[in-house]
Structures are given as C-alpha cells and as structure tokens.
Chain A
Amino acid sequence: MNNNETVTEKLAVNENWCKGCGICVKFCPKNVLIVENEKVKIVDIEKCIQCGLCELRCPDYAIYVRGK
C-alpha cells in the first residue's frame, strides 16, 4: 500500500497518513515524538512507555502502539 512507514518494536508510524497536526506530540507524556517537515517523527523511542495516548488521539490513525 505504501512504503513510508516507520516500524519499531514499540511504535509504528505511517507517514503517508500523518497530516502533521502535532496532537500526538503535545499529549505524549514522555516527549517521544516531534513533527518535522509536517510529519511525525520518533526521536526518543527509549522513553516510550506504550501508554497509547498518541494512538487514542491521532485523528488520522497514523501512529499506534505495537504488540498490545
């Protein structure tokens, strides 16, 4: 379907669906994410606690927790 995906053990991001709104970035309790060039980017995956708040509020289903 697309190849612009970033898949880590904890989180997956689909850059094709991301609209860069910044909602996941703002409400992530651990500052794991940033928006760069209008797309979400994982910058500190070590800190991710897989709380799922990014997934819960992403309006475009472009980020989600893996293995849960």
Chain B
Amino acid sequence: MPSAIVSEYFRTNKLPQIWCPGCGHGIITRAITVAIDKLGLDRDKICIVSGIGCSSRAPGYMDFDTLHTTHGRALAFATGIKMANPDLKVIVITGDGDATAIGGNHLIHACRRNIDITAIIYNNNIYGMTGGQYSPTTPKFDKGTTAPYGNVDKAFDIPALAAAAGATYVGRSTAYHTQLLISLIENGIKNEGFSLIEAISVCPTYYGRKNKKGSAVEMLEWQKNHAVNIAAASKMAPESLDGKFLIGEFKNSPEPEYTKEYQKIIDMFKKE
C-alpha cells in the first residue's frame, strides 16, 4: 500500500511513472500534492492543466480533474477554464520548453493579466521528451543535441521574466530543496492572482549526460551546494555568491485579479 499522500492524490494504478530513474519531475509532482493537502482545498474545486513534455505528463498521474493539452498552450487552456469558472483553483504544470519557448507569449500575458492561476515550471534546462534539444533555459555554453558545440544563447531568468511581466507571486526552488518548494507552491496557490514557481528539476538522461553532470544524485547534490536563499544572500559578500543561484520567495505583491476585474464590467451592465 502506498503512503497516505500518494494513496489520496495519485492514480496509483498508473504508477510507477514513465519517467527515467532519478528524474526530478516525480519529486516536484509529489511536492505539489503535499502543498494542496496542507492547504486543505476541496479537490473538486481544483483543475490541473499541462502542455506537452515529460513534465506535462505529471497530471496523468494525479487524481484530480486534469487536462493534458497541446505544446505551449497550457496557460491558454487554463485561462479559458478560469474565465468560465472563476471558483476553480487552476494549477498549471509545464516545462521550460513548454512555458518559455513555444508557450512564451502565453506566459508573459498570463503574468500581465494577473489571472488567478498558479503555474509551476519544471525546469530541467532541456527538452527532455524529444531527446535533449537546448531550451531557452539551457545555460550559455552548455550542450544539447541541437547545440553539440555549446549553446550560444543567453538563458532566461524565469522568475525575473515573470516578475517584470506582472506576475504577483514569484518564487524558485529546486527538487533538492523540496520543503521550500512545497511552501512556495502553497503561497502561490494562496495568492489571488498569477503565481509563478520555478521548480528546478534534474534530467539525468539528457541534460545530465550531454553536460557530464553525473547521476541524478550528483545533480541534486549540485543543487544543494549551489543554491542560496535570497533571504540569506542579502547578508552575504557579493564574491561568495559567485557561481551560485538564488532560491526563495522573490515577489509577493498582490494586485487586482483578472476574473474579478472582468466580472465588474459584466456587473456594470447587469445593473442597467
């Protein structure tokens, strides 16, 4: 018999997942269910939406009302669901390719509208499902099948992008920093507006192998040794942050929510 969380929130007859051994996506997916459980939400008021990719397969294993859509369009479908039924808590699961390459335009406009959706980007720095092509978050000079000599593009900083575009809750954690990830997801869901959580995953099969990052265990150790919480970073000497990356809550500044604002327009005409 599986654990209480897994029995409660997973389609256990579909497990184990199709993901490779050590794939970080499984850690993040469980973290989402723990966050939902902690919030004590009515599961019939939750809809989980994904696009296409290894990451986007997650909702297939989750025992909620779920929707597996087309590549890059999870946020577009989620926007439709939220507009039609604003009472739902809509959660989007998407990959770095799904959300920031083909779906990049949907992402910035969802941020700008501040629609009440929580998007969790499983960032493994590569296109996993299609065999290791570089993505908009592949670090400069790292390799992919489409960048055999190193990628010359600069990577997106997803939280900075989302915050600049107007998301009202923004955070980043890693598969290793699972407890922090759970609390960011909880806070993101609580925020009435667009919340973006970057969950740094590990893809030992493609990103790891192409870039000689070692096993899943070694990739998680790298996360452990290179992540610095933004709360601690402000007290550290700048040199000690060299080669490190920030995790934690980057933005939490509520603003009027899109479906509520839209309803006000509808109400304006109802009165007449």
Interface residues of A (CB under 8 A from B): 1, 5, 12, 14, 16-17, 19-23, 25-27, 55-62, 64-65
Contact = CB atoms under 8 A, between A and B. Distances in A.
A61 B6 contact: yes
Contact of A61 (B20, B21, B22, B30): B30
Given A19-B22, A21-B22, A23-B22, A60 B217 contact: no
B58 to A, nearest CB: 11
Given A21-B217, A61-B3, A65-B3, 20 more contacts: A5-B1, A17-B15, A19-B20, A21-B21, A21-B22, A23-B216, A23-B217, A23-B220, A26-B217, A26-B221, A55-B3, A56-B178, A57-B175, A57-B176, A57-B178, A59-B25, A59-B26, A60-B15, A60-B26, A64-B6
Contacts of A17: 15-16
Interface string B17-39: 10111111111001000000000
A46 B105 CA distance: 54
Contacts of A25: 217
A59 B176 CA distance: 11
B21 A57 contact: no
Contacts of B22: 19, 21-23, 59
B16 A19 contact: yes
A46 to B, nearest CB: 22
B2 interface: yes
6 contacts: A27-B220, A55-B3, A56-B30, A58-B26, A62-B16, A65-B3
B23 to A, nearest CB: 6
Contacts of A22: 22, 215-217
B179 interface: yes
Contacts of B217: 21-23, 25-26
Nearest to A55: B3
